[in-house]
Amino acid sequence: MDDTSIFPDKATKPTDKDLAGKLGSAYALWIKIHDIVLSKYPGGLSEWNYPGNKYGWKYRIKDKKRAIIYLLPRDLYFKVAFVFGDKAVNKIMDSKISNDIKNELNQATKYAEGRGIRIDVKNDSAIVDIEQLIDIKLSN
């Protein structure tokens, strides 16, 4: 599956209308996850970011030092991405989060900033796990 943003043009920062049109019914889930993060961390800074032509536009919510969550727009769905350090990975492994997510995180390459994971959001089936991941991210 293509892993590039549906917004590839650096000169055109996506708007809410653009996003809603491209995500379709998944747009409501994007808003829900966005609102969950900001309800748990009201000081979060939301911003579109363009890391380069290879990836296109992505959206992130961060605190003063680090990204809390990335939202990566795709055609009619999106991905959420997190990066977790060792302490957080241990908490995830001891949690009730789905085994699929635990396995993916366990197999992720470990970098200096931690292990990264991406979760496809096409329906609300992963929302409970995503909310737990947000809680773990904010607790570390």
Residue 60 in any domain: the answer is yes
Residue 49 belongs to domain with CATH number: 3.90.1150
pLDDT for 1 = 44
Residue 98 in any domain: the answer is yes
Ramachandran assignment for 76, one of left (phi > 0), alpha (psi -120 to 50 degrees), beta (any other): left
The total of structural domains in the chain comes to: 1
Q: Domain span at residue 129? A: 16-139
The mean pLDDT value for 25-40 works out to 97
Residue 11 in any domain: the answer is no
Nearest Cα to Cα of residue 71 among 21, 123, 19: 19
Residue 3 in any domain: the answer is no
Alpha carbons 125 and 97: distance in angstroms, whole number: 12
Alpha carbons 114 and 82: distance in angstroms, whole number: 9
pTM over 0.85, yes/no: yes
Residue 2 in any domain: the answer is no
Residue 59 has pLDDT above 90, yes or no: yes
